[in-house]
Structure 1
Amino acid sequence: MLKPPISRMGGKSKLRKIIIEMIPEHICYVELFFGAGWVYFGKEPSKVEVINDIDKEIVNLFKMMKYHEAEISRLLKYEVSARDVFDNYINTDIKSLTDVQRAVRFIFILSQSFASKGKHFGYATTNRPSPQIFETEYLKLVKDRLRNTYIENLSFEKVIDKYDRNHTFFFCDPPYFETDGYGIEFERKEHLLLNTMLKNLKGKFLLTINDHPEVKEWYRGFNIKEVEVNYSVSREQSARGKYKELIITNY
């Protein structure tokens, strides 16, 4: 069970064991909203695997890890956890970088930022800087895991159209409904489109989403499992604590 090379807001680190245990038999495994890939990196490889994300920086990162892991490892050897390095990367025009340099920048910013949001330099008095980005042996494991995986950079509806078969399993972890902080537009319209497509799916799906009365109404008739997740990464004490989430399946 690998730890992803990056962290993302809304990642499934606290739920992945439960999710993996609920995955049904399948031939083709598809993640519609890949993010950091906690479930993908935690489960056993499927015969066919597809990871998709609309964020071009995420897709570029995993493409470069798949094809150019050695060069990424070489460049990361020279990185240090420093505020001025972080600020320089934040202010860098990515158009001036190669795809490999973009990947290194993305890893560094997310791994060294507060709550992996990529906005403010993260520091602590009880924890050391995130070390995994400097470990070349770890990146080789990530590369090997990605070797036989298709990497897509499409809207979720296009991925469903392309890969939906009776033997396909979709893991869906979209931006949560009426929740800020993801940095992409995913409103009621997108949620309702996802709902319609999942209702008409040939294959199986598992959806993780926040516990919201409208969401429960949309997916009435499906299997809904309520779980509590403890979130502790926040500057505001009031934002920490246990939150209810839903795991919804059509099997």
Structure 2
Amino acid sequence: MILRRLGNKSKIASEIHKHFPKHTIYLETFFGAGGMYFNKPKAKYNFLNDLDSDVFNLFQVISQRKDDFVSLFELMPIHNDLFDYWMNNQEEDEIRRAVRFVMLSNFSLYGKMDTLRLGCVSPKEQVFKNIDKTFEYIKGGQFTNCDFRKMFKSISIDPNDKKNAFIYNDPPYLGTTDNYSSSFTEEDSFDLFNCLENTGIKWAMSEFNHPFIINQAQSRGLNIIEIGERQNLKNRRIEILVTNYQVNQLQLFTA
């Protein structure tokens, strides 16, 4: 909504969301730009996580110091010197750090944070347009900044409430690097499958049709839904959704 990143789900969120079960408790392990979260109806209870401390800091700032962020962002000049400086230097102040992160993400070519992008559409205006809606969506949610394994260990949902809970996972895809600080390995994916299966909660995972993912899903008796083809400058891949529930057997979240 206010953050531009590679792999953002905003363009295909509606296609993925129609396969979600109804839920009042929503957990998301890899929040990123929030492409799914901001494009679905807000659940009553939301537990959000991302390992990237810049992502965590940005949304903490928006939820707690939105006006300070807007004031500094409005004053931020758009030029190569500042972009190059921020590309190589972090900020200690949380507001400046949040503004830096949005500039590098939203003003860079393809959101890769390495080349300043200029155009007729102002990324600044898009941030101002969506800042209030972003604030309302994350208000009341619980946001953590940790590895997904630690997040699952901290989850404490009453057994009677698990039927109303749902976990969505959008991990860094195997075989891609995007702009994540570290790549996801097969061991990471294996651990994620194990963690999810141990929750006793309905869950879905977005991925490409990577052979390892397909093998894991099939060997565990999970369901694979083809979402569609995605392509970039280098290749084409099939986006899939792996679930531990049969979509046609559930009342779907169609609100």
Counterpart position of 2:75: 78
Question: Which amino acid letter does the alignment assign opposite residue 155 of structure 2?
Answer: Y
> What's the CA shift for 1:134?
5.3
Q: Secondary structure at the match of 1:214?
A: helix
| Alignment pair present for 1:110 and 2:105 | yes
| Alignment pair present for 1:244 and 2:238 | yes
Q: Distance in 2 between matches of 1:219 and 1:132?
A: 42
TM-score by length of 2: 0.86
> What's the CA shift for 1:164?
5.8
Q: Distance in 1 between matches of 2:140 and 2:211?
A: 39
Counterpart position of 1:215: 213
> What's the CA shift for 1:93?
3.6
Q: Secondary structure at the match of 2:65?
A: helix
Q: Distance in 2 between matches of 1:110 and 1:119?
A: 9
Deviations 1:88-112 (A, max 9, x none): 2223342xx3111100111111110
TM-score by length of 1: 0.88
Query: Which stretch of the first structure deviates more once superposed, 64-73 or 172-181?
Result: 172-181
Aligned CA distance change for structure 1 residues 158 and 93 (closer, same or farther; 3 Å):
closer
Q: Distance in 2 between matches of 1:72 and 1:189?
A: 38
Contact 1:86-1:109 within 8 A present in 2 as well:
yes
Structure 1 moving runs of 4+ over 4 Å: none
Counterpart position of 2:20: 23
Deviations 1:105-126 (A, max 9, x none): 11111110111111111235xx
Q: Distance in 2 between matches of 1:245 and 1:138?
A: 27
Aligned CA distance change for structure 1 residues 216 and 39 (closer, same or farther; 3 Å):
same
Aligned with 1:61 (options 53, 58, 62): 58
Counterpart position of 2:249: none
- Count of residues paired in the alignment: 237
| Alignment pair present for 1:152 and 2:140 | no
Question: Which amino acid letter does the alignment assign opposite residue 99 of structure 1?
Answer: E
Q: Distance in 2 between matches of 1:157 and 1:143?
A: 27
RMSD: 1.8
Deviations 1:66-103 (A, max 9, x none): 00000010011112332222112223342xx3111100
Question: Which amino acid letter does the alignment assign opposite residue 150 of structure 1?
Answer: Q
Aligned CA distance change for structure 1 residues 93 and 248 (closer, same or farther; 3 Å):
closer
Contact 1:170-1:203 within 8 A present in 2 as well:
yes
> What's the CA shift for 1:194?
0.6
Q: Distance in 2 between matches of 1:163 and 1:153?
A: 14
Where structure 1 has 5 or more consecutive residues not aligned to the other structure, the ranges are: none
Q: Distance in 2 between matches of 1:118 and 1:133?
A: 18
Aligned with 2:46 (options 46, 49, 73): 49
Q: Distance in 1 between matches of 2:15 and 2:156?
A: 24
| Alignment pair present for 1:131 and 2:124 | yes
Q: Distance in 2 between matches of 1:193 and 1:170?
A: 15
Which structure ranks higher in relative contact order (CA pairs < 8 Å, sequence separation ≥ 6)? 2
Q: Distance in 1 between matches of 2:21 and 2:181?
A: 32
Where structure 2 has 5 or more consecutive residues not aligned to the other structure, the ranges are: 246-255
> What's the CA shift for 1:51?
1.1
